[in-house]
Amino acid sequence: MRRTLIAGNWKMNGSFSANQTLLTGIIAGLPVGDAVETLVCAPAPYLAQCADVLEKSSVAWGAQDVSDHAKGAFTGEVSAAMLADCRCKYVIVGHSERRAYHAESNELVAQKAVLALSENIMPVVCVGETLEQRESGATNEVVAAQLQAVIDVLTDGQLARVVVAYEPVWAIGTGKTATPQMAQDVHAFLRSQLAIKSVAAANVVRILYGGSMKPENAKELLAMEDIDGGLIGGAALSPVDFLAIISAC
């Protein structure tokens, strides 16, 4: 049984006062019960604030990136140990914006996942194809290579602690969403790739869908067999929309 995970990716948005309003709004409106795990991934300067505000709630917090080095002369980088100090439970690695704007390779993303796990932080590994890749029929090949780089460097036990997020690049921030069946097909394929390495891990790894998920489409997407939650960008900045997605589970 995989517990649904609804994760917000705030990207480079927020301020102390806006975060306070957003976080307290989420806490106040959370449905009763523990069927859904809720996570917010905040910019690094606000992780301590998340820890303070969310500490007594059931909402987890995490980061949006982590260095591929453990420590040292890497100006501007944030290490997995620092995220652990901020009590992050999760960290996003390999978001398409980082792959595109910071030229992150599959191997670099895999190294980030290794370092996160070494600090007991669960990596949310993002994979996804561009529109051009989808239209040329390369979707499975692209996401398989992105996932395989991570599979290759982890033990079966470590793999079971990973979260995968399928985020078609053409659906992120565009308002275009994959149809539930399109997403389900890729999720099932990703699970089959995990199962080649470990059936036990494949059964427990949560595969989130991300890409313009909003209250209006969340229910249909989350009803699919292999969609175990959502990674939400724009709609995670509004407590009303984020809570509506949680309620759709």
Catalytic residues, which ones?
95, 167
Cα distance between residue 7 and residue 59, in whole Å:
10
Determine, following the binding rule CB under 6 A, whether residue 31 of this chain makes contact with ligand PEP.
Answer: no
DSSP annotation string for 31-57: PSSSSEEEEEE--GGGHHHHHHHHTTS
Of the candidates 127, 142, 124, 105, the one whose C-alpha atom is nearest the C-alpha of residue 65 is 124
Smallest distance from the beta carbon of 137 to ligand PEP, in angstroms?
23
Of positions 60, 124, 232, 245, contacts ligand PEP by CB under 6 A: 232
Residue 135 Cβ, how far from ligand PEP at the closest point, in Å?
19
Determine, following the binding rule CB under 6 A, whether residue 241 of this chain makes contact with ligand PEP: no
Determine which residue in the list 37, 68, 129, 167 makes contact with ligand PEP, applying CB under 6 A. Answer: 167
Give the tokens for residue 5.
């995970």
Contact positions with ligand PEP (CB under 6 A) in 193-212: 210-212
* Closer Cβ to ligand PEP, 168 or 198, answer by number: 168
**Is-contact 249 37, C-beta < 8 A?**
no
Per-residue HEC secondary structure of 226-237 comes to CCCEEEECHHHH
Give the separation between CA 133 and CA 140, rounded to whole angstroms. Answer: 9
Binding mask 132-151 for ligand PEP (x = CB under 6 A): --------------------
Q: Which residues bind ligand PEP (CB under 6 A)?
A: 9, 167, 172-173, 210-213, 231-235
